[in-house]
Every structure is written in C-alpha cells, then in structure tokens.
Structure 1
Amino acid sequence: MSTSSPAMAFVASLSALILILTASSASAYPSSSLSATAYEVLESNNFPEGILPKGVTGYDLDPSTGKFSLYLNSSCSFSLEGSYQLRYKPIVTGVVSRNRLTNLGGVSVKVLFLWLNIVEVERVDDELEFSVGIASAGFSIDNFFESPQCGCGFDCGTRESLRLRGGLASSI
C-alpha cells in the first residue's frame, strides 16, 4: 500500500499541473465571444475603428504580448477616394499596443502598379502613419472614424443610390 501512495501522489500532482496549465493558457488567449470586439480593442489602444473594414468575424488576442489574429469572412478589397486600393486577407496578424500596430501581416496597399504590405501603423497626435517598410505616409485621423465596407469602401450608399436611379451605367 505504501508503494502505491507515492505513485498516486505523483499522478495527482501531475493532473493538478495539467489543469493549471490548461486554465492559464485559456485565459492568455481569450475567446473573442467573451471579450471586447476587435473594434473596441483598437479603440482601447488609441486607434479609430475605421482602420478595419466592416465585417470582422472574430479575433484572438494574447493580452500579455499584444499578438493578435483577426478574421474576416474572405479577402476584402476596396478603393479609397479612387487613389488608394487596399486589400485585407481573410486573416490579419500583428502586435497591438498603445498607439502602435507592428509586425502586420495580411494588409496591403497598391502603390502605382505594385502591391506593398503595410507592416506598421503608428498614431502620432492626430495622424496615423502607415509604413510599408521602405516608405511611410501620414493621414489625418479624421479619415478613419468610420469603417469602410469590403468591395465599395465608403461609396456603397452612393453607388447603390446611383444604381437604383439608373445612373451607374452612365457614370462608368
């Protein structure tokens, strides 16, 4: 009986350790259904929600490191004011912290004829600085208070109202 007692104690200790590790890893990666929305996480880090398109279906976030994965139903692309084309892959990754998004993956912008990955976004006062690694550009934060919609950006209502009035074909 005394020979099985140390073995039983070892199994009980090992089981307790597994339960503790499982519980701690679950709290390090909270389910998006139990936490704030992706847009609220951005706002809590001093970013406007409009840097993400409408339609985020979920995300994973490690609050201790800021590493995240963000999920969309599918690839998403749109033009902004006819001058910039943006593309989001179905999964966007990176690290979020106060005033900074770094190590971004899954977001690109078309510059001339090339698609360049946006690798970092930094908020400096009332501007957002977007970096593609070798170059960056700053834009007023006022441009990002509303989230664009996949496919049409901010022109969705305008295009829809033109189509309903029969004016879309003549405006193309």
Structure 2
Amino acid sequence: MDWTAFIALSLLFICAAGYDTPSAYDVLQQFDFPIGLLPKGATGYELNNSTGDFKAYLGEKVCSFSLEGSYDLKYKSTIKGKISKDKLTKLSGVSVKVLLFWFDIVEVRRRGDELEFSVGILSASFGVENFLECPQCGCGLICGNDQGRNGKLNRFVASS
C-alpha cells in the first residue's frame, strides 16, 4: 500500500470516529438520570464538562404533552441548566401545569430510586421507573395504540 492511500484511509477512520459522539440521552445516563426526562426527538446538545453547563435542543418549536391526564408539560426548543451526578439545577425551558398555573421546573434531583422535581418552593417526587421511556411531543407516553413498555401504562404518583 502506498503512503497516500494509507493517509487517506487514516483520515477517513479519524473522521468516522468523530461521529460516535453520545446523544443527549446518553449524557443523561452518564449522570445517573433516565432518558425519559427528555422527550423523543432531541436533535443535539452542548455540554461543558468542567462547569456542567448544558443545553439540549429539541427539533420542535415547543413540545407539549399530557401525562396520564394529570400533568401537562411544556418544553421549549432549548433546555438549559447545570448537570452533575444525580442533580440538574438552574433549569430553564421546562414547565409543568398544576391546576390552572404554569410553573418552571428549576431543579431535578435523583435520590435513590426517586426523582424529585422542584418548581421553587414546591416539589414532588416520582419513581425513576416512570422515566425509562421518552414521552413524545403531542401525545406523551400513550401515542396511538402504544401503551408504553410491555403494554403497561406508566403511572405517575407523587410521593411528597
């Protein structure tokens, strides 16, 4: 093999290796969070490993859906915050409707098998198992005949 072909193949290999970057869902898992914190369709992300600052991008302008008829959630096209193991802080871009009012979710903490969502002075905890699947914009976890993993409906029950 001549050197030109060797260099060309080496460059091709290096370029192809660059396409193995993890997805936004992979990054969530690296910090011990389930993928279902983000809806389907995340198109990319930015992460500063030294500060934990992150941005996740959704293809939709605004993504909204209802979970079990209890909670309405709304995601902006860009979600920002600071991520570390078991902790998402300084969140912006995710809101939940409680009764008649929309509140920004500002923090998510993992405490064992529970995720605690904070909207400031109020918080609610849910089992991690409720977030093993990504909801879909418009229909949440129940889209068409799809009833979630293994045909079971995912139930959200606040524990605090």
Name the TM-score class by shorter chain: 0.7 to 0.9
Question: Distance between the aligned counterparts of 2:109 and 2:102, measured in 1?
Answer: 20
Instruction: Give the structure 1 partner of residue 68 of structure 2.
Output: 81
Of residues 152, 158, 161, the one that matches 2:145 is 158
Task: Read off the aligned partner of 1:70 and give its amino acid letter.
Answer: A
Question: Distance between the aligned counterparts of 2:19 and 2:100, measured in 1?
Answer: 39
With normalisation by structure 1, the TM-score equals 0.72
Instruction: Give the structure 2 partner of residue 63 of structure 1.
Output: 49
Structure with greater strand percent: 2
- Cα RMSD, aligned residues only: 1.4
Structure with greater helix percent: 1
Gaps of 5+ in 2: 1-17, 147-160
CA deviation after TM superposition for structure 1 residue 95, in Å: 0.5
- What SS is found at the alignment partner of 1:156? coil
Identity %: 58
Structure 2 residue 136 is the aligned partner of structure 1 residue 149: yes
Q: Which moved more, 1:131-140 or 1:66-75?
A: 66-75
Task: Read off the aligned partner of 1:40 and give its amino acid letter.
Answer: D
Task: Read off the aligned partner of 2:120 and give its amino acid letter.
Answer: G
Gaps of 5+ in 1: 1-31, 160-172
- What SS is found at the alignment partner of 1:42? helix
Deviation beyond 2 Å, 4+ runs, structure 1 = 32-35
Summarize deviations over 1:18-51 as a string: whole Å, max 9, x none: xxxxxxxxxxxxxx96621100000010000011
Structure 2 residue 93 is the aligned partner of structure 1 residue 106: yes
Instruction: Give the structure 2 partner of residue 138 of structure 1.
Output: 125
Q: How many residues align?
A: 128
Structure 2 residue 10 is the aligned partner of structure 1 residue 39: no
Distance 1:64 1:77, change over 3 A: same
CA deviation after TM superposition for structure 1 residue 147, in Å: 0.3
Task: Read off the aligned partner of 1:69 and give its amino acid letter.
Answer: K
